[in-house]
Amino acid sequence: MKIQLRDEEREYEVGVTAYDIAKSISEGLARVAVCGKINGELVDLAMPIEKDCKLDIITNKDLEAKEVLRHSTAHVLAQAVKSIYPNAKLSIGPATDDGYYYDFEFKTPINNDDLAKIEAEMKKIIKADFEIKRKVVSRQEALDWAKSEGEIYKIELVNAIPEDETVTMYTQGDFTDVCRGPHLRSTGMIKAFKLTKLAGAYWRGDEKNKMLTRIYGVVFDKNSEMEEYFKMLEEAEKRDHRKLGKELDLFFLSDYAPGMPFFMPKGQTVINELINFWREEHKRAGYVEITTPMAMNRKLWEKSGHWDHYKKNMYTFKAENEPFAIKPMNCPGGMLYYKERMHSYKEFPLRVGELGKVHRHEASGTLHGLFRVRCFTQDDAHIFMTKDQIESEIANIISLVDRMYKVFGLEYHLELSTMPDKHIGTVKEWQHAETCLKNALVGIGKDFVINEGDGAFYGPKIDIHIKDAIGRTWQCGTIQLDMQLPKRFELEYVAADGSRQEPIMVHRVVYGSLERFFGVITEHFAGVYPLWLAPVQAIVMNVSEKSEAYAEKVYKELGKAGIRAELDIRAEKIGYKIRAAQMQKIPYMIIVGENEANNGTISIRKRGNIEIKDLKTKDLVKEMKNLIDSRALEC
CA angle 414, 415, 416 (to 5 degrees): 125
| Neighbouring-strand partners of residue 199 | 214
Q: How many CB atoms lie within 10 A of CB 327?
A: 26
Kindly state the DSSP code that residue 628 receives in the 8-state scheme. H
Q: How far apart are CA 49 and CA 57, in angstroms?
A: 13
> What type of residue sits at position 145?
W
Secondary structure of residue 125 in the 3-state scheme = helix
Work out the end-to-end distance of the chain between its first and last CA atoms, rounded to an integer number of angstroms: 64
Secondary structure of residue 543 in the 3-state scheme = coil
Contacts for 439 with CB less than 8 Å, ≥ 6 apart: 391
Q: How many CB atoms lie within 10 A of CB 37?
A: 18
| Neighbouring-strand partners of residue 213 | 104, 200
Residues 104 and 81 sit within 8 Å (Cβ to Cβ):
yes
> What type of residue sits at position 31?
R
CA angle 225, 231, 237 (to 5 degrees): 140
Strands 41-43 and 175-178, sheet pairing: unpaired
DSSP 479-492: EEEESSHHHHTT--
Could you tell me the CA-to-CA distances from 41 to 38, 50, 372, 452 in Å, in that order? 5, 15, 32, 10
Rg of the chain in Å (alpha carbons): 29
Strands 375-385 and 9-11, sheet pairing: unpaired
What's 353-384 look like in SS3? EEEEEEECCCCHHHCECCCECCEEEEEEEEEE
Catalytic residue ranges: 331, 360, 378, 380, 382, 461, 507
Residue among 489, 465, 474, 546 nearest 338 (CA): 489
Residue among 203, 149, 153, 212 nearest 176 (CA): 149
